[in-house]
Structure 1
């Protein structure tokens, strides 16, 4: 955390310089030729931000299944638990608090966010720009990309974000990211579209917008606006080893999400009923692995699909649905593609022997 604090002043200076140069360049361009004005112009960011932020919300959740840290940095914004992560684990290993972002897509309380933000959530809390905190429920999940829709109850109309056409964006146009990085609500950063159609290997429908607007864990699910105040992307991923390399799901996928049934049909996912812990490099070496893979069963809850199938503490899950399991998060992602009642075929190592286990998945308890 200290390293972040020591770098903030420099980042702020560069951001102010960038905005100052942007203002100068636009003014000069307007005097010389209207053809060189940036697409959509470069409006007063203060007024634009005042207009946009009421539509953005902070999301915090409690997860049913606590998964210990992966051995490698996750590429997705997996809702960083916070600075007191280690302490909270020792105090209460049955609950994991995490944060993310979202925005209203209509005035009736429907909120767009990333599916991974609310994956495995037992309780979802939404904080509005007014400071009001309310519970939300998951009502739809996009079948192809990392998008989900929540719903809150509201007695009065809410301010919605305008959805833009991501097909028309151009590399070099200015964008604004609004979100909840590290729990710092309604943080605003500015950058440009750095690339289009990026494939990250996260799924067959990868088609990310690349931006250098500063986004961090907790920005997941937050909007990426163009200078017309339209959402042209949903901030989703970063390259952990890079700087200023963020990715957003194009807004045109939102039309598919909004059309999905909101009766919860897509929100119900399969559940095992276990706590897991990833394989450490030291353990991998003892097991003769080149790199750590798989995830240990740390605890099996009573009266759950895992217990009914005979899973035991100390089992090493190495395969699920024919996929070699990398870590606990990978296992969670595989399970999330199944529904209650589906049979999940797994391979576990118990002692020194590999065993096949078929599990009839259940529904996560509320």
Structure 2
């Protein structure tokens, strides 16, 4: 077998096997989804305009679907839809590594495509639809046409290693890496869970602005997150956090950039408490926030 034959088989064999499990999202094909369990399809949350959408299968069957569970901050939603016994695509046991060959199986704009590329970066972060940082993505070079968000990225054995999220510049694409935590989240969403992380209820000033404002009033430079505003009735307001406070530590986590705080909040739920170290002017305070 020649090198070209091997390359063709690399794309054709897993691509053909996966095609039935990949669906088009939306009547105009604005996104792609993948069957992850009986009557369950995973796609990006930004592919939905509301909690229902049209799903078109590879055989041409079109069915109305509704959200079973979602994680909007993580840009994922699991749809409930009649999958007619089509098997779910298998998850990969290991995340892809730098330089690994991957395939993108997409169905955007009602046109199935299979392309290949390589992983060009790992452990990439991006900002979700509501401004929260999302960690744990890969960057790859498999060409993806419009409507490819939500599509599965496969390894050479046809197992799902990542879920496409959005296109970058210069032909690169970002995809959420499928690890144990993501598989657990998808299973929970398939069972009906909707993730709503707790919110502190503060607007934060950019780090460089915080340093300039502290210097302007004669305060020493210090790492932390400067509170620009506090939402009325929020957990922060109930705990008496004020505009101008500098949040320097959340639990055991030192706060230098907003992502530090978001990471702590992501592990909390309703009814939990969080101890914050706060600098107010020159005074150091300890404030307990209840969510």
TM bucket normalised to smaller? 0.5 to 0.7
Match of 2:229 in 1: 298
Aligned partner (choices 320, 331, 354) of residue 250 of structure 2: 320
Deviations 1:300-354 (A, max 9, x none): 232x422221123343333212222244444233211012221101123334433
| Matches for 1:65-144 after TM superposition, within 5 Å | 103-111=34-42, 125=51, 127-130=53-56, 136-138=67-69
- Aligned 8 A contact 1:167 1:252 in 2: no
Aligned CA distance change for structure 1 residues 194 and 330 (closer, same or farther; 3 Å):
same
Aligned partner (choices 195, 208, 213) of residue 267 of structure 1: 195
Aligned CA distance change for structure 1 residues 214 and 29 (closer, same or farther; 3 Å):
closer
Q: Aligned-pair RMSD on alpha carbons?
A: 5.3
337-346 or 349-358, larger mean C-alpha shift: 349-358
Aligned partner (choices 335, 338, 348) of residue 278 of structure 2: 348
Match of 2:267 in 1: 337
Matched, 1:165 2:92: yes
Unmatched tracts of structure 1, length 5 or more: 1-25, 31-36, 59-98, 362-366
Aligned partner (choices 152, 177, 181) of residue 223 of structure 1: 152
Aligned partner (choices 161, 166, 170) of residue 232 of structure 1: 161
Supply the distance in 2 between the matched residues of 1:53 and 1:266 (Cα, whole angstroms).
Answer: 24
Structure number with higher strand proportion: 2
Supply the distance in 1 between the matched residues of 2:152 and 2:35 (Cα, whole angstroms).
Answer: 10
Unmatched tracts of structure 2, length 5 or more: 57-61, 127-134
Partner-residue secondary structure (3-state), 1:287: helix
Partner-residue secondary structure (3-state), 1:43: helix
Supply the distance in 2 between the matched residues of 1:186 and 1:344 (Cα, whole angstroms).
Answer: 49
Supply the distance in 2 between the matched residues of 1:200 and 1:168 (Cα, whole angstroms).
Answer: 13
Supply the distance in 1 between the matched residues of 2:232 and 2:111 (Cα, whole angstroms).
Answer: 38
TM-score calculated relative to the size of structure 2: 0.61
Aligned CA distance change for structure 1 residues 355 and 254 (closer, same or farther; 3 Å):
closer
Matched, 1:211 2:140: yes
Match of 2:4 in 1: 29
Match of 1:83 in 2: none
- Aligned 8 A contact 2:226 2:244 in 1: no
Aligned CA distance change for structure 1 residues 134 and 29 (closer, same or farther; 3 Å):
closer
Supply the distance in 1 between the matched residues of 2:125 and 2:95 (Cα, whole angstroms).
Answer: 24
